[in-house]
């Protein structure tokens, strides 16, 4: 089945083959669209519907994989549309989630050396990615860009592209969001755990590989652990989930090496706290909402 169904609500429902239902909530990423995607995914998962194989929320959409021999197409669509109406009808939408502190060595030698190897594919062959990002955002220096980057929290809007890679959306008013174009020509190499940025999205490269986002630093600890050696991966090999909130913490080389030693011995754990993401407060008064979110880490 490839024909789209009749549009009854704001979202567009489309079938992908016999096993996928794609729900396009909006054409563009926004906090409200992303909240709807995550809330619908959480509702569907909580229902425990027989035949649902996987639920993948994204920036402004939702993909559901199912077994049509167990769950008929129309029955699934009816259930998801009901969930959409329930989510839309919530007067004060909130999402129980967590805030995670991610240590980052900004302006590190690893991403710096990689960036230097690929300057021919960059808009600004001289300097580095941080210098370029500062200029693009009309900031005085790379240091000011780094300050802006780590001083506010980021929402994990989706996880994917490669295993465990989080896309993150800055929780600040639109006119304050950092925006940097991707490389003109993608790199064939990116260090694992590089903290990157493309458009308005930040990311952390979970594994080494190709990439086109600007590189600003390197995270100190894994976010993808197939062997599940570390305590934070006891339940699943991927650390981040859509709806998580990230607070980057700048660190220096000595702190980076200390955390690396903890990772090697298997004792590292991320500093994190349970929080409630309040959509209306985040839209109405992002500064107050961010203070509430970040204060939760103070008690950890």
pLDDT at 264 over 80: yes
Average pLDDT over residues 266-290: 95
Question: Mind listing the pLDDT tens digit for each residue in 172-204?
Answer: 998 999 999 999 999 999 999 999 999 999 999
Distances (CA, A) of 78 to 21, 35, 66, 89: 12, 21, 14, 17
Closest to 300 (Cα-Cα) out of 280, 272, 275: 272
Contact assessment for residue 262 and residue 255, using Cβ atoms and an 8 Å cutoff: no
Confidence (pLDDT) at 22: 97
Q: How much of the chain, in percent, has pLDDT values that exceed 70? A: 97
Task: Give the pTM.
Answer: 0.90
**How big is the chain, counted in residues?**
300
Check whether 157 has a pLDDT greater than 80.
yes
**Torsion angle in degrees (nearest 10) through CA of 69, 75, 80, 83:** -130
* Domains identified in the chain and CATH numbers: 12-91 (3.30.1360.40), 96-298 (2.40.100.10)
**Per mean pLDDT, which range of 6-10, 72-76, 265-269 is the poorest?**
6-10
In what side-by-side order are the strands of the sheet with 12-16? 12-16, 20-24, 61-66, 52-57
Q: Is 275 helix (H, G, I), strand (E, B) or coil?
A: strand
Pairing of strands 154-159, 245-250: antiparallel
Could you tell me the pLDDT band of residue 89, with boundaries at 50, 70 and 90? confident
Q: How many other CB atoms are there within 10 angstroms of residue 209's CB atom?
A: 14
Q: What is the pLDDT of residue 90?
A: 87
């Amino acid at each position: 089945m490839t024909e789209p169904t009749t549009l009854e609500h704001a979202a567009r429902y489309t079938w992908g083959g016999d096993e996928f239902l794609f729900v396009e909530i909006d054409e563009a990423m926004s906090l409200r669209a992303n909240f709807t995607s995550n809330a619908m995914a959480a509702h569907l998962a909580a229902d425990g519907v027989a035949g649902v194989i996987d639920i993948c929320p994204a920036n402004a959409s939702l993909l559901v994989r199912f077994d049509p021999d167990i769950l008929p197409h129309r029955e699934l669509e009816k259930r998801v549309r009901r969930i959409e109406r329930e989510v839309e009808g919530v007067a004060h939408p909130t999402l129980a989630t967590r805030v995670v502190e991610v240590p980052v060595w900004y302006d590190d030698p690893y991403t710096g050396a990689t960036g230097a190897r690929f300057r021919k594919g960059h808009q600004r062959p001289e300097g580095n990615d941080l210098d370029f990002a500062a200029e693009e955002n009309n900031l005085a220096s790379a240091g000011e860009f780094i300050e802006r980057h780590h001083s506010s929290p980021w929402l994990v809007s989706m996880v994917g592209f490669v295993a465990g890679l989080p896309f993150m959306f800055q929780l600040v008013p639109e006119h304050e969001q950092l925006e940097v174009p991707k490389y003109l020509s993608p790199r064939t190499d990116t260090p694992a755990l590089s903290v990157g940025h493309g458009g308005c999205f930040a990311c952390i490269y979970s594994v080494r590989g190709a990439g086109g986002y600007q590189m600003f630093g390197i995270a100190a600890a894994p976010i993808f652990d197939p062997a599940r050696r570390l305590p934070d991966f006891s339940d699943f090999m991927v650390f981040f989930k859509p709806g998580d909130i990230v607070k980057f913490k700048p660190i220096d080389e000595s702190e980076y090496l200390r955390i690396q030693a903890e990772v090697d011995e298997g004792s590292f754990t991320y500093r994190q706290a349970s929080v409630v993401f309040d959509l209306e407060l985040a839209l109405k008064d992002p500064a107050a909402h961010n203070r509430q979110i970040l204060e939760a880490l103070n008690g950890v």
